């Protein structure tokens, strides 16, 4: 179902073809410059392989969430970085070994999956290569619309991601543990609901743990909290799978949300109204690391705390180290989790470092990924 059925680049000869590739070049920017090029470095081998095979290669991607044309989110800086890294000539919107199209989200038809924009994208191409794992959970013009119009295959990076993460779907080795953190509370609370029945244990830190603690009647002070979600998660913390959910027993708190605020460690049930939870505490870090080390399959998404603050980095660091040390099949997804792992120099110590955050979670939930499902029509 979710892993999908599709042809890959091994099934076609792209020589002499005009090929459009959808890559995931949605990289974090800092002051207009590429802040982390992991996705660029991951995308390039597919593009280079196509050029070497004699294809005329054009690549498209979105970058950020522009509403219409926004020069600050031009793919120009990305094309420049690609050109620096690759021995090939890479350029934005002009003929080159690899031609980069401008940000697909500059066109409102992208997220609407409009027929007009899908046709504009498809126009003049003989083959479409879907290689943007981080975007296939969205039914957009550059993921679904174009693949309905041009013969399409899965690219090697997409195929690798689906195969690696597919190990969590069909009878994963047990204990199967998922570690969740980060900030996108409402998105990820749905993930908890869908994943909980499938796992043996779910370790929850980061911003979302406070909504679950609140559902258990615990005071969470000024911590990140999604009040509207409290009722929704109550069945999880009271239901038959409640023992699988492992919440922090201690929390690093401060009275201000800032990098230089003084922090202290308090019991998770002893937080006071003026306190803000910034990280899981040391006792929780030890507990989480222990569970990760005894797992056989483990997936991690989302930092355990505000790791941008030196005072709130320990929990994320402990989880990253345990992910690197465990002998389990270990995978990490999510931009910030991947960045934390890379900052610690541990990125090669996990079994799989995914380029996709939301997409990896939706895959593990067992949801169909529209950008993968659409490829099936080209099997025959
Ligand atoms: P990923 O990119 O790995 O999917 P998210 O984008 O969901 O992760 O979350 C990353 C963000 O979560 C970080 O910027 C981090 O500061 C924030 N975060 C983690 N814990 C907390 C917390 N306790 N309070 C507020 N923000 C948090
Ligand atoms: Mg993020």
Q: Read off the pLDDT band of 299 (50, 70, 90).
A: very high
Dmax (CA) for the chain in angstroms is 67
Mean residue pLDDT of the chain comes to 95
The question of whether 335 is a catalytic residue gets the answer yes
pLDDT in tens, 40-98: 999 999 999 999 999 999 999 999 999 999 999 999 999 999 999 999 999 999 999 99
pLDDT in tens, 92-116: 999 999 999 999 999 999 999 999 9
- Ligand 1 center–CA 309 separation, angstroms: 11
Tokens describing residue 101: 């199209």
pLDDT in tens, 119-146: 999 999 999 999 999 999 999 999 999 9
pLDDT of residue 101: 98
The question of whether 39 is a catalytic residue gets the answer yes
pLDDT of residue 3: 52
pLDDT of residue 123: 98
Cβ(354)–Cβ(39) below 8 Å: no
Whole-number Å distance between alpha carbons of 189 and 196: 11
Atom of ligand 1 nearest to the CA of 358: 4
- Ligand 2 center–CA 300 separation, angstroms: 13
The question of whether 313 is a catalytic residue gets the answer no
Atom of ligand 1 nearest to the CA of 223: 24
Reported in sequence order, the residue ranges of the chain that DSSP labels E, i.e. its strands, are 18-22, 29-30, 33-34, 56-60, 90-92, 98-100, 127-130, 152-154, 176-180, 201-204, 245-246, 250-254, 263-267, 276-280, 297-301, 329-333, 352-353
Domains and CATH numbers, the chain: 9-159+368-379 (3.40.50.1260), 174-327 (3.40.50.1260)
The question of whether 356 is a catalytic residue gets the answer no
Residue corresponding to tokens 């992910």 = 323
pLDDT in tens, 305-344: 999 999 999 999 999 999 999 999 999 999 899 989 999 9
Tokens describing residue 209: 């743990």
Tokens describing residue 215: 């559902």
Whole-number Å distance between alpha carbons of 62 and 77: 13
DSSP one-letter code for 208: T
pLDDT of residue 2: 44
pLDDT of residue 1: 41
Whole-number Å distance between alpha carbons of 52 and 86: 13
Q: What is the pTM of this model?
A: 0.93
* Pocket lined around ligand 1, Cβ cut-off 6 Å: 181-184, 206-207, 224, 277-278, 301-303, 305-306, 308, 334-337, 357
- Ligand 2 center–CA 184 separation, angstroms: 8
SS3 91: strand
- Residue 139 burial (CB < 10 Å; 0-12/13-18/19+)? middle
- Ligand 2 center–CA 339 separation, angstroms: 9
DSSP H or E run through 152: strand 152-154
pLDDT in tens, 162-208: 999 999 998 899 999 999 999 877 888 888 988 999 999 999 999 99
How far is the first Cα of the chain from the last one, in angstroms, to the nearest whole number?
Answer: 18
Pocket perturbation via mutation, ligand 1, pick of 36, 185, 336 by most ligand atoms within 8 A of CB: 336
């Amino acid at each position: 179902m979710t892993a999908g059925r599709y042809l890959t680049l091994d099934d076609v000869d792209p020589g002499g073809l005009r090929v459009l590739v959808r890559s995931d070049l949605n990289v974090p920017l800092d002051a207009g410059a590429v802040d982390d090029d992991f996705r660029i470095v991951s995308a390039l081998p597919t593009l280079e392989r196509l050029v070497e095979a004699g294809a005329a290669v054009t690549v498209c991607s979105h970058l950020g969430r522009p509403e219409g044309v926004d020069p600050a989110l031009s793919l120009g800086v990305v094309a420049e970085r690609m050109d620096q890294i690759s021995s090939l000539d890479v350029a934005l919107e002009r003929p080159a070994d690899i031609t980069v199209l401008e940000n697909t989200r500059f066109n409102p038809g992208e997220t609407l999956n409009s027929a007009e924009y899908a046709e504009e994208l498809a126009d003049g191409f003989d083959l479409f290569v879907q290689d943007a794992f981080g975007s296939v959970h969205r039914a957009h013009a550059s993921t679904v619309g174009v693949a309905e119009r041009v013969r399409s295959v899965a690219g090697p990076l997409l195929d690798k991601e689906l195969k690696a993460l597919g190990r969590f779907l069909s009878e994963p080795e047990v204990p199967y543990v998922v570690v969740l953190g980060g900030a996108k509370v409402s998105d990820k609370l749905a993930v908890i609901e869908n994943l909980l029945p499938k796992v043996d244990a779910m370790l929850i830190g980061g911003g979302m743990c406070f909504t679950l603690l609140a559902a258990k009647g615990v005071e969470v002070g000024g911590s990140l909290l999604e009040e509207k979600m409290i009722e929704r998660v109550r069945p999880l913390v009271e239901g038959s799978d409640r023992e699988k959910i492992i919440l922090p027993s201690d929390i690093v708190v401060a009275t201000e949300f800032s990098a230089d605020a003084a922090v202290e460690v308090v019991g998770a049930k002893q937080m006071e109204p003026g306190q803000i939870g910034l990280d899981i505490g040391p006792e929780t870090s030890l507990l989480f690391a222990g569970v990760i080390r005894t797992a056989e399959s483990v997936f991690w998404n989302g930092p355990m705390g505000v790791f941008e603050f030196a005072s709130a980095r320990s929990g994320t660091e402990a989880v990253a180290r345990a992910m690197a040390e465990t002998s389990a099949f270990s995978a990490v997804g999510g931009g910030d989790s991947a960045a934390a792992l890379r900052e610690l120099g541990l990125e090669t110590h996990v079994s799989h470092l995914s380029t996709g955050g939301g997409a990896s979670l939706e895959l593990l939930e067992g949801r169909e990924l529209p950008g993968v499902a659409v490829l099936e029509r080209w099997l025959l």
